[in-house]
Amino acid sequence: NDVNVFFYCSHFRLSVCNVSERNCEALSSVLSSQSSSLRELDLSNNNLQDSGVKLLSVGLESPHCVLETLRLSGCLISEEGCTSLVSALDSNPSHLRELDLSYNHPGDSGVKQLSARLKDPGWRLDTLRYVESCCSHRQSVAPFTLLRQFSAVFFRGGKG
């Protein structure tokens, strides 16, 4: 079984590898396995969409998941996918330290949901990367990285 290779890896880069929904299901089962040692997963620039993120989220919410870094840059994720991620990480907030959602379309609600978690001491997440796609409604490409120590200052004037 090709999935077995993931059990022996701590870092796996699948950027621009045409990762499918079926692959997301397999990755989810690896993330939720007691024998997985996967700590970093890069799925950037794959057509995961919200359906793939929902499948990955099942693995992320597992108490056995030890993933610390998840890169999902350019994966066509919308607000719905962000909601799935937040829900999964609310179930198991103690492992993920870094989340890259650059070049996706999480909408204001998705960004607010995730950035609010930076202030939550129960969450281990301390880095959230997001760069708007040039095709988004705001036409902005200015990158920002939100760090836990700066999140209160950055979001002080915002709602929620």
Sketch the domain layout of the chain as residue ranges: 19-133
Q: Say how far apart CA 7 and CA 106 lie, in whole Å.
A: 30
Q: Say how far apart CA 157 and CA 114 lie, in whole Å.
A: 17
Report the CATH superfamily, name and number, of domain 19-133: Ribonuclease Inhibitor (3.80.10.10)
Name the pLDDT band for 72 (thresholds 50, 70, 90).
Answer: very high
Mean pLDDT of the chain: 80
Please determine, for residue 119, whether its predicted confidence score (pLDDT) is greater than 90: no
3-state secondary structure of 41: strand
What is the predicted pLDDT for the residue at 53? 97
Q: Say how far apart CA 65 and CA 50 lie, in whole Å.
A: 20
Name the pLDDT band for 6 (thresholds 50, 70, 90).
Answer: low
